[in-house]
Amino acid sequence: MKKVILQPIGNDNSIDNFKEKNSKRWAESTKYKKDWEESKEAIVLFTHDSVIFAKATISSIETSNHTKYPLNYYYDDIKFINIPFSKLRKITNFQDIYRNYTILNKSMSQKILDYFELLELKIYKKDEDYQKDIGEANLFDIKDESETPKEPKKGKNKSYYPRNKFRAKLALSRAAYTCEIDSNHTTFISKATNENYVEAHHLIPFNVQSEIDYNLDVTHNIVSLCPNCHKKIHLASFNDKKKMLDTLYNKHLEGLSIVHLDIGIDSLFSIYSE
Ligand SMILES: [Zn+2]
Ligand SMILES: [Zn+2]
């Protein structure tokens, strides 16, 4: 069973700093050597200011000549998340404050892993509902595209941006219900549309809407993907995503500039690298 480790980053570090300098490595003093020996392949949760802001898997642990911090651990699969520490406290009945590197015991680790699994399932369930709604939407009901972003709605745990199923349907129909990565990616005939089944994906994702002045929920920003490519663009390693983004960006460049969303390929890469 995998272990879960809490790694607070000190107040002399900011999250931005961490993203810049430590995106693959964390250094620590020998004080934690024994703990480190037990840490391979563990899941590490980085905390700062009572928020768990990143989750990663430790891939290897090495020593260096650095006098103060001679231990380096390298990790893969880093995901920036934003979960209040209080949430985990509820799940595990944590008593401590955990100011230091801490390997959690078996039962706490398991509870946390279960929680993350559930969290991921919930996200997929939501997207499934959305794809189903799109299939059933009537194309004639499409309203004008508005360029001002909608206000986010307050959900149970976090706020979210409402998505318009009619626009998504229009985008899929413009792509002739083919996968925009490769039109040979055929799937099956959807009961709802009587067309090849594809899914709608927002090329510039909603998690950056608050930083962008124009509405992301517009047809030019919605791409049509086969379910496999859709999963891939969400879950693959950054290098694999890069090739897909290149293809999709070039296809949509003209449309994106019409709706003031031409953010440049490098910005798009950096959004997907997190
Ligand atoms: Zn998507
Ligand atoms: Zn595909």
- Count of beta carbons in the 10 Å neighbourhood of residue 169: 24
Q: Write the pLDDT tens digit of every residue in 131-189.
A: 888 877 776 655 545 566 666 666 555 666 778 888 899 899 889 999 999 999 999 99
Q: CA–CA separation, 189 vs 187, rounded Å?
A: 7
CA 132 / ligand 2 centre spacing (Å): 18
Query: Does residue 215 contact residue 148 with C-beta atoms inside 8 Å?
Result: yes
CA 254 / ligand 2 centre spacing (Å): 22
CA 127 / ligand 1 centre spacing (Å): 8
CA 165 / ligand 2 centre spacing (Å): 21
CA 227 / ligand 1 centre spacing (Å): 10
CA 187 / ligand 2 centre spacing (Å): 9
Cα 228–Cα 80–Cα 216 angle in degrees, nearest 5: 60
Give the residue ranges of the chain where pLDDT is below 50. 144
Query: What does the pLDDT read at residue 151?
Result: 64
CA 128 / ligand 2 centre spacing (Å): 17
CA 163 / ligand 2 centre spacing (Å): 22
CA 231 / ligand 1 centre spacing (Å): 8
Instruction: Set out the domains of the chain in order of their start, with CATH numbers.
Output: 4-120 (3.10.590.10), 137-272 (no CATH)
Query: What does the pLDDT read at residue 22?
Result: 63
Q: Whose atoms come closest to the Cα of 205: which ligand?
A: 1
Q: Whose atoms come closest to the Cα of 223: which ligand?
A: 1
φ, ψ dihedrals at 34, nearest 5° = -65, -45
Instruction: Using a CB cutoff of 5 Å, list residues around ligand 1, an ion.
Output: 201
- What's the start-to-end Cα distance of the chain, in Å? 26
Query: What does the pLDDT read at residue 85?
Result: 81
Take residue 2 and report the two structure tokens written for it.
Answer: 């995998």
φ, ψ dihedrals at 263, nearest 5° = -90, -5
Query: Does residue 263 contact residue 195 with C-beta atoms inside 8 Å?
Result: no
Query: What does the pLDDT read at residue 216?
Result: 92
Residues counted in the chain: 274
Query: What does the pLDDT read at residue 143?
Result: 52
Query: What does the pLDDT read at residue 144?
Result: 47
Q: Whose atoms come closest to the Cα of 227: which ligand?
A: 2
CA 234 / ligand 1 centre spacing (Å): 6
Take residue 87 and report the two structure tokens written for it.
Answer: 């949430």
CA 118 / ligand 2 centre spacing (Å): 27
Instruction: For the chain, give the longest Cα–Cα distance.
Output: 68
CA 56 / ligand 1 centre spacing (Å): 22
Query: Does residue 199 contact residue 227 with C-beta atoms inside 8 Å?
Result: yes
Q: Indicate the pairing of strand 71-84 with strand 102-103.
A: unpaired
